[in-house]
Amino acid sequence: MGIDDRVPDIVRAKFARAQTLYLMGWIDLDVLKAGELAALIALELTLMDRYGDQIPKNRRSFATLLTHMADVDGLTDGNIPMILRTGGTAIGFVTGQAKPSLSQRRNSMAHGDPFDGLPVGGLLELVRDLINYAYRDFIANAPPRLSHESPG
């Protein structure tokens, strides 16, 4: 369930934190909601790293970065392994055409009540797939790591 081990360590560490919080969610469901926020933060860091220099600073929001991923970098449902395996669609939640979008979810958790509502099924897996997609060229050109240890 982890992201590719050639993804930069800081992103891997943030995603690993989200996974840990998901596991702790078996004990306390509120902790799982914190894991959702941690996963979306890892995704936002990824998008800033991969696309941030392509968008003017005054327009660089999480929503804009997500839309850029689809409109400019070519993300479609066909590029998301979770969707290929299970069916359905996720691209509308990425671009904001479906509500609540990933950006709206992150904003609600970060600026509202992070523990409001039920957990979102498949969110961690979708975030993993989006991170791997954003770093796909980086992954293709990076030598394999000798160690499979988790960062942090």
At 149, the pLDDT band (50, 70, 90 cuts) reads low
pTM, entire model: 0.92
Q: Indicate whether 145 pLDDT > 80.
A: no
What integer pLDDT is reported at residue 79 of this predicted model?
Answer: 98
93-143 pLDDT, tens per residue?
Answer: 999 999 999 999 999 988 887 777 888 999 999 999 999 999 999 999 988
DSSP per-residue codes, the chain? -PPPTTS-HHHHHHHHHHHHHHHHTTT-HHHHHHHHHHHHHHHHHHHHHHHGGGS-GGG--HHHHHHHHHHTT---GGG-HHHHHH-S--HHHHHTSSSS-HHHHHHHHHHS-TT-S---TTHHHHHHHHHHHHTHHHHHHSPPPS--PPP-
pLDDT at 107: 92
> What are the residue ranges spanned by the domains of the chain?
9-140
What are the tens digits of pLDDT across the range 65-98? 999 999 999 999 999 999 999 999 999 999 999 9
31 compared with 149, residue with greater pLDDT = 31
pLDDT score for 65: 98
Task: Evaluate if residue 59 carries a pLDDT over 60.
Answer: yes
Query: What are the tens digits of pLDDT across the range 24-47?
Result: 999 998 899 999 999 999 999 999
